[in-house]
Amino acid sequence: MHTYKKFLLAAAATLVMSANAMAAEKLRMGIEAAYPPFNNKDASGNVVGFDKDIGDALCAKMKVECSVVTSDWDGIIPALNAKKFDFLVSSLSITDERKQAVDFTDPYYSNKLQFIAPKNVDFKTDKDSLKGKVIGTQRATLAGTYLEDNYSGVDIKLYDTQ
């Protein structure tokens, strides 16, 4: 899984060009808030992180006041389409399936997905070496889907957040 995945700001391009969105007094920015350092909640419960900073910069550029609405990761696209928020600022990899549900802008960063293990473990990532192992990943992500589709014989544990 040493491939680079592009992560995007979903629906912002549509938002910037939307006359209705520009006319809104306050826009709602959707964020997961469970993926530090990109998005998380601080000790006071405020959403912080790189994604929030990008969203704040977009709002400042558009001269629009924005509020933050958080959503669980596996429901973030349905929440956007149900108009629970006006735009999404959380890391989404582009897939053909997601392109059917949302519009994407250009990437604002790239990330590399990889396996990790404690330093003292001899850890090989070929399919035969991973048989019988337990691997954890976040539900409704490309990593989760990739593991489920490609690693039979591996015990894959799916978690709601990172």
Are 9 and 74 contained in the same domain? yes
How many domains does the structure of the chain reveal? 2
Are 108 and 133 contained in the same domain? no
Q: What is the mean pLDDT of residues 45-74?
A: 95
Task: Choose between 85 and 23: higher pLDDT.
Answer: 85
Domain annotation covers residue 16: yes
Q: Which domain holds residue 27?
A: 4-112
Are 84 and 132 contained in the same domain? no
Which pLDDT score is estimated for 127? 87
Which pLDDT score is estimated for 23? 55
pLDDT, tens digit, for every residue of 95-116?
888 899 999 888 887 777 888 8
Are 107 and 132 contained in the same domain? no
pLDDT, tens digit, for every residue of 1-56?
333 333 334 334 334 434 445 555 799 999 999 989 999 999 999 999 999 999 99
Question: Model pTM?
Answer: 0.65
Which pLDDT score is estimated for 107? 80
Which pLDDT score is estimated for 76? 93
Q: What is the mean pLDDT of residues 50-78?
A: 94
Are 146 and 74 contained in the same domain? no
Among 26-40, 45-59, 72-86, 122-136, where is mean pLDDT lowest? 122-136
The DSSP line for 112-157 is E------TTS----SHHHHTT-EEEEETTSHHHHHHHHH-TTSEEE
Domain annotation covers residue 82: yes
Which pLDDT score is estimated for 15? 45
Are 47 and 99 contained in the same domain? yes
Are 62 and 134 contained in the same domain? no
Are 85 and 11 contained in the same domain? yes
What CATH number is attached to the domain comprising 23?
3.40.190.10
Are 62 and 142 contained in the same domain? no
Are 65 and 140 contained in the same domain? no
Which pLDDT score is estimated for 56? 96
Domain annotation covers residue 122: no
Q: Sign of the CA dihedral 121, 125, 126, 131?
A: positive
Are 65 and 27 contained in the same domain? yes
Is the confidence at residue 123, as pLDDT, over 50? Answer: yes
Are 62 and 106 contained in the same domain? yes
The DSSP line for 47-113 is EESHHHHHHHHHHHHHT-EEEEEE--GGGHHHHHHTTSSSEE-S-EE--HHHHHH--EEEEEEEEE-
